[in-house]
A and B are shown apart, each in its own frame.
Chain A
Amino acid sequence: MRVLVAMSGGVDSSVAASLLVDAGHEVVGATLKLWGGPSDSGCCSVADVDDARRVADQIGVAHHVFNFTDDFDASVVLPYVEDHAAGRTPNPCIECNRHIKFGRLLERARRLGFDALATGHYARVDGDDGHRRLRRGADRAKDQSYVLSMLGGADLAQILLPVGALTKAEVRAHASGRGLRTADKPDSQDVCFIGSVEGRRGFLGDRLALHAGEIVDGGTGAVVGTVPAVELVTVGQRRGLGVAVDGRRLYALTVDVEGRRVVVGGADASWTEQVRVCRPSWVDRPLSPGSRAMAQTSAHGAAAPCTWLGDAVVFDRPHPLVAPGQTVALYDENETDAVTGSAVAA
Chain B
Amino acid sequence: MLPYLTDRFGNPSGSHSVARAARLALDDARDDVAAALGCEPGEVVFTGGGTEADNLAVLGGHGAVGGAVVCSAVEHHAVLLACRSLEGTTVPVDAAGVVDLDALADALHPGVGLVSVMLANNEIGTIQPLDEVVAVVRDRAPRAVVHTDAIAAVPWLDVTSAARPADLVSVSAHKFGGPTGVGVLVVRGGTALGAVLHGGAQEHGRRPGTHDVAGIVGAAAALTAAVAGRHTEIPRVRALRDRLADGLVGGVDGVVETGGDRSAKVAGSCHVLVSGVNQEELLLLADDAGVCASAGAACASGALEPSHVLLALGLSAADARTAVRFSLGYGTTDADIDVALAVIPKVIEQLRG
Contacts and interface: CB of A to CB of B under 8 A. Distances in A.
Given A31-B301, A49-B301, A49-B302, A64 B353 contact: no
Contacts of B21: none
Interface centre among B301, B317, B351 (most CB of A within 10 A): B301
B303 interface: yes
Contacts of A112: 281, 284-285, 351
Given A49-B302, A64-B280, A111-B281, 10 more contacts: A31-B301, A44-B301, A64-B284, A65-B302, A67-B305, A70-B317, A108-B281, A111-B351, A112-B284, A112-B351
A223 interface: no
Nearest to A48: B301
A219 interface: no
Interface residues of B, number: 17
Given A67-B305, A112-B284, A112-B285, A33 B353 contact: no
Contact of A65 (B278, B281, B285, B301): B301
Nearest to B299: A33
Given A66-B280, A112-B285, A33 B301 contact: yes
A111 B303 contact: no
A113 interface: yes
A67 to B, nearest CB: 4
Chain B interface SS verdict (over half): mixed
B312 interface: no
A299 B130 CA distance: 62
Interface in A33-77: 33, 44-46, 49, 53, 64-67, 69-70
Contacts of A113: 285, 350
Interface residues of A, number: 17
21 contacts: A33-B303, A44-B301, A46-B301, A49-B302, A53-B302, A65-B302, A65-B303, A65-B304, A66-B303, A67-B303, A67-B304, A67-B305, A70-B317, A108-B281, A111-B281, A111-B350, A111-B351, A111-B353, A112-B285, A112-B351, A113-B350
Nearest to B285: A112
A67 B351 contact: no
B335 interface: no
Contacts of B285: 112-113
A67 B280 contact: yes
Contacts of A108: 278, 281
B96 to A, nearest CB: 27
A310 to B, nearest CB: 36
A65 B278 CA distance: 13
Contacts of B280: 64, 66-67
Interface in A104-160: 108, 111-113
A32 to B, nearest CB: 8
Nearest to A68: B303
A44 B280 CA distance: 17
Interface in B23-65: none
Interface string B282-321: 0011000000000000111111110000000000010000
Interface string B336-353: 000000000000001101
Interface in B209-250: none
A46 B300 CA distance: 6
Residue of B278, B280, B299, B302 ringed by the most chain A CB atoms within 10 A = B302
A113 B299 CA distance: 26
A64 to B, nearest CB: 6
Contacts of A69: 303
A15 to B, nearest CB: 22
B261 to A, nearest CB: 30
A219 to B, nearest CB: 52
Contacts of B298: 65
A305 B247 CA distance: 64
Closest 4 CB pairs of A and B: A33-B303, A67-B303, A65-B302, A49-B301
A221 B68 CA distance: 64
Interface in A157-199: none
**Which of A33, A45, A69, A113 counts the most chain B CB atoms within 10 A?**
A33
A49 B300 CA distance: 9
Contacts of B350: 111, 113
A26 to B, nearest CB: 11
Nearest to B283: A64
A65 B305 CA distance: 11
A8 B3 CA distance: 44
Contacts of B353: 111
A146 B278 CA distance: 32
Nearest to A53: B302
| A31, A49, A67, A69: most-surrounded residue (chain B CB, <10 A) | A67
Question: Which of A45, A108, A111, A113 counts the most B-chain CB atoms under 10 A from its CB?
Answer: A111
A65 B285 CA distance: 14
A17 B85 CA distance: 42
Interface string A244-257: 00000000000000
Nearest to A70: B317
A65 B281 CA distance: 11
Contacts of B317: 70
B93 to A, nearest CB: 24
B302 to A, nearest CB: 4
Nearest to B288: A62
Contacts of B301: 31, 33, 44-46, 49, 65
A50 to B, nearest CB: 8
Nearest to A30: B284
Contacts of B300: 46
A6 to B, nearest CB: 14
Nearest to A9: B301
Contacts of A44: 301
